[in-house]
Amino acid sequence: MGMKANSGLFLGTQGAMKYQLNIQMFGLKKDYGSLENFLQNPSNFGKYTPLSLYEWLKSDYGVKPLSVGSLKGVPFEKGGGFKVVYGGDKLLQYHPEGGHHKVAYYKISSGKTGIHRYDLNGKELK
């Protein structure tokens, strides 16, 4: 599956980093096909870094910075989170550490399923 590093960055030259990110992005597309398929099992979050998910999503989805809170409008590359609207009213957000909930987490929501938050390993937060 994907490669995971504590900082979300890889060692080596810029070329090596780009190569590894491309491998991750290709792996995500190949393994899941779509964001909808990926999110059917939230434990998938634990297999990838927020950076690798961001790289995949920005190539296929309209990824935007968060629009509420202290990181409103801050790009992911500058320490902000990100959000993706897909499948009508469905939303995936990544919130970095800090803010209201204190820990980094993913938020999945829709009109049908409501709001669910998951830590970076895919365990649901209550």
In this prediction, residue 78 carries a pLDDT of 94
Instruction: Please report whether residue 5 resides in a domain.
Output: no
* Signed CA dihedral, 34, 1, 46, 53: sign only: negative
In this prediction, residue 64 carries a pLDDT of 96
Instruction: Please report whether residue 1 resides in a domain.
Output: no
What is the band of 21 on the pLDDT scale with cuts at 50, 70, 90?
Answer: very low
Instruction: Please report whether residue 47 resides in a domain.
Output: yes
Is pLDDT above 90 for 10? no
Interval 96-121: pLDDT, tens: 987 666 799 999 999 999 999 999 99
Instruction: Please report whether residue 73 resides in a domain.
Output: yes
Instruction: Please report whether residue 89 resides in a domain.
Output: yes
Instruction: Please report whether residue 24 resides in a domain.
Output: yes
Provide the residue range defining the domain that includes 41.
14-125
Interval 55-101: pLDDT, tens: 889 878 889 999 998 899 999 999 999 999 998 899 999 999 876 66
Total domains in the fold of the chain: 1
Instruction: Please report whether residue 105 resides in a domain.
Output: yes
Contact 56, 30 (CB under 8 A): no
